[in-house]
Structure 1
Amino acid sequence: MTADLIAVVLLLAVTAYACAGGTDYGAGFWDLVAGGTERGRRPRWLIDHAMAPVWEVNNVWLVFVLVIMWTGFPVLFQTVFSAMWLPLALAAVGMVLRGAGFALRKPSRRLAGRRLYGAAFASASVVTPFFLGAAVGGVASERVAPGTDASADVWTSPTSLVFGFVAVATTAFLGAVFLTGDARRFDAPELVGYFRRRALGSLAVLTVLAVVTGFVTHEDSPHVWHGLTRGLGLLFAILAGTAALAAVWLLLRTPGAWARVAAVGVVASAVVAWGMAQRPYLLPTSLTVDEAAGAPSTLTWLAVVTLVALLVVVPAVVFLYWLDTHGELEELTDSELGGGSDPDGDRTVFDS
């Protein structure tokens, strides 16, 4: 019973990271395809201002995922990270480059430096979710089992590749929906339509990829396919489709908070559908929840620590998001700080 509870917590943590982290990766995707310096200036301005207050905190959910995996399900952690160390290592490098690029782009005084850091941020925002999706596809395709040796065949299967593309399309959809709302919040009406079109376009691509995923998993991942076509897996897949229709309707109207809720509903339902489809396995057909679970005493303490962490972290994160959406985390103006502006007009310079 405790092992099942921890498995549900792990799935919810993965879901939270897919939604929160996915939104950030999506912003980086649109940064990458925004165009040259002049054409992409306004979209990148919005991306910088929208991401700045919250981009670091979204990685909290990834920390939850890793801690729960290696503590609650050590066999799962060892198997996955041994068999697919290369794509996971590339994803980790991408996270580092992405964070460094975003943090260093704005304060850089040289145009060449800004372009370099911006390119690192944007390209890593695409590479990272692709490799994470490919790793998930390796699990879903039944190619990962205890004792599996590291091999490219594990994470380059048809399921892995399509999951990688789905991950990129998902982040693009989330990022565009959230940036549409941010464009209204920052009073940039020309960017509302800009990102709304991209949100609808990326959802169309995601829908096509979902259909392709169905055909691919039918042949390449039979256990997950059967799980998605019956029971809770089918229920959450239907919820994802319903949320997608709601997102389209809301985007075509005046995009607001409910459009974001619908977009998150699409992604969250899809992730939970995948988790339900794998039951009772963590690694389909080879490793069940009970077989992967750690010692009962470890699981009990992990449940207690997780509860305490959630009681502390979740309210703080929700409060941070509330402050951000209500404009309480905006940079102070020069008049408020009593300083001057630098030549670029986007930083405050204090007199020494």
Structure 2
Amino acid sequence: MEILATIWFVLIVVLWMGYLFLDGFDLGVGMMMPFLSRSERSKRVLLNSIGPVWEGNEVWLITAAGAMFAAFPHWYASLFSALYIPLTLCLLALIFRAVAIEYRGKGHSERWRSFWTWALAVGSAGTAFCIGAMLALTTIGLPLNDHGDLVGGAFAWVSWPALVGGLGGLGFSLAHGLIFLGLKTQDEVRARSRRWAGRIMLPAAVPFLIWFAHSITQRTWLVIPVLIALAALIVAFFAVRAGAEKPAFILHGIYLIAGLAAVFAGAFPNVLPSSIDPANSLTIASASSSDYTLNVMLIVTIVILPIIIAYQIFSYRMFLGRIAETHIPEAHKLPVAIRS
């Protein structure tokens, strides 16, 4: 039954929305580490702002990819094989980012910390770009043959949708991270975050807005969610300028969710359009698993997903307060005898 496949398509879209909304600010904070922080203590403020939640936020990425694999194996196989190179780079970026967060505080030299600071920034930027490019390509299309395989070589995916999606992922994550820092920090870090957010929010949104607007060419009524996204973005911009970070953060999320709803609704019922022949496109019917598999997965999801969401809500409530440089102790220094 296509209704089960449709339900799973919607669930996977929701998972990608959740990932970009939650891990987006983690990536943005990571990208801003070398630029926003002027002292070691302020850098540690940035790290501590995402420290309790960044690993939990990445669960949404794993869950989204896993759901694609189980519910739509042909979609997963075609997309991940076509994008083997960028997704391998994305995996390396994720690894580099995680190692940077964990290893940065293990050394005591300026060179050590600087290296891992830049590793975190590059890993975060690479992840944001690759995820954005992948999602844009899966809604706009890849050159696929009638077997669902990429034609045109290993770099046939390099196209304007990949560029727009990648730059959009970078821009959204940067702006989202800066708004989050304004919401989570105090004093000078908060003030600098607000200034940066006010400068880059609108320019950084241009690539995503181009992607969102493309959905209108597929279904004209999708102008409604696109306009909602645009309105939410503009109001979020003025909220940031006014120092209302919480409404700005929520509105920036609405901008993302409305825009992603538009692009995936525009692609539906295709899960991976073919840019060379619409007949080669993968649809929810042709790419999905059996009804039995989808039923079992749905039952498990109904049981497990509320528990995961409840745990994340609990985690965020536990670490709800703002962080200031005065909350950060001096870095520990090894005795001379040990250093030598």
Pick the TM interval, shorter chain: 0.7 to 0.9
Q: Which residue of 1 aligns with 2:241?
A: 252
Task: Spell out, residue by residue over 1:261-293, the C-alpha distance to the aligned partner (whole angstroms, 9 max, x if none).
Answer: 112111222222211111111112411111111
Match 1:226 to one of 217, 223, 226: 217
Aligned partners of 1:85 and 1:150 also within 8 Å: no
Equivalent residues, number: 322
Match of 1:86, SS state, is helix
Counterparts of residues 200-349 of structure 1 (less than 5 Å) = 200-210=198-208, 212-213=210-211, 217=214, 224-227=215-218, 230-231=220-221, 233-284=222-273, 285=278, 286-326=281-321, 342-343=332-333
Match of 1:154, SS state, is coil
Q: Which residue type is aligned with residue 254 of structure 2?
A: G
- Highest RCO, 1 vs 2 (Cα 8 Å, sep ≥ 6): 2
Q: Which residue of 1 aligns with 2:58?
A: 59
**Structure 1 pair 311/213, CA: closer, same or farther in 2 (3 Å)?**
closer
Q: Which residue of 2 aligns with 1:198?
A: 196
Structure 2 CA distance for aligned equivalents of residues 22 and 68 of structure 1:
20
Aligned partners of 1:132 and 1:164 also within 8 Å: yes
Q: What is the CA distance between 1:255 and its match in structure 2? A: 2.4
Aligned-residue RMSD, C-alpha: 2.6
Q: Which residue type is aligned with residue 268 of structure 1?
A: I
Q: Which residue type is aligned with residue 260 of structure 2?
A: V
Aligned partners of 1:46 and 1:182 also within 8 Å: no
Aligned partners of 1:80 and 1:144 also within 8 Å: no
Aligned partners of 2:140 and 2:267 also within 8 Å: no
Aligned partners of 2:80 and 2:87 also within 8 Å: yes
Q: Which residue type is aligned with residue 314 of structure 2?
A: F
Note if 1:69 corresponds to 2:60.
no
User: Identity over aligned residues, as a percent?
Assistant: 22
Give unpaired runs (5+ residues) of structure 1: 218-223, 335-339, 345-352
Give the TM-score normalised by structure 1: 0.84
Q: What is the CA distance between 1:238 and its match in structure 2? A: 1.5
Structure 2 CA distance for aligned equivalents of residues 137 and 155 of structure 1:
11
Structure 1 CA distance for aligned equivalents of residues 262 and 116 of structure 2:
37
Aligned partners of 1:83 and 1:144 also within 8 Å: no
**Structure 1 pair 73/82, CA: closer, same or farther in 2 (3 Å)?**
same
Q: What is the CA distance between 1:211 and its match in structure 2? A: 5.4
Give unpaired runs (5+ residues) of structure 2: 335-340
**Structure 1 pair 290/258, CA: closer, same or farther in 2 (3 Å)?**
same
